[in-house]
Copies of this chain bind each other. A is one copy, B any other.
Amino acid sequence: MAHALEQARAGAAAGEVPIGAVIVKDGVVIAAAHNAPRALTDPTAHAEILAIRAAAQHLGNERLDGCELWVTLEPCPMCAGAIAHARIGRLYYAAADPKGGAVEHGARVFEHEQCLHRPEVYTGIGESVAADLLRDFFRARR
């Protein structure tokens, strides 16, 4: 999660909402990204989506079986859906997101029968650091 938080800080430095994600396979980081919708002019460019796309390219496989995704904030519906499509084995997220999350809030994407793959989900690791990064970012922009 330290690596994902580092990505989040890099995002903030680039003027993007500070959310970072890394994908790990067999103990090795194979992809890392931060939110970048502004820089890329791409509304889908959340950290998780960019990391999933990079990992699939790295592995030469659209299915990321056996991979872990570490992200600093609870995924939104778009990212939770992508995690299911990619067959991510384990999802770790630092801070919960009552305003936009879709794992334990709102759409609860993994809890419907329409969801064809559910990762194991672990939460809270690095929570306060991740939440502070977001709070400081939005406070500075007001």
| Distance of A40 from chain B, by nearest CB (Å) | 8
> Could you tell me if A57 and B41 are in contact, using CB atoms closer than 8 angstroms?
yes
Known: A41-B57, A42-B57, A43-B56. 20 other contacts (CB 8 A): A41-B60, A41-B62, A42-B62, A43-B52, A43-B63, A44-B53, A76-B114, A77-B81, A77-B102, A77-B107, A77-B109, A78-B78, A78-B84, A81-B81, A98-B114, A100-B114, A105-B114, A106-B115, A107-B107, A107-B115
Interface of A is mostly: loop
**Interface residues of A, Cβ cutoff 8 Å to B:** 37-38, 40-45, 49, 52-53, 56-57, 60-64, 76-82, 84-87, 98-102, 105-109, 112-116
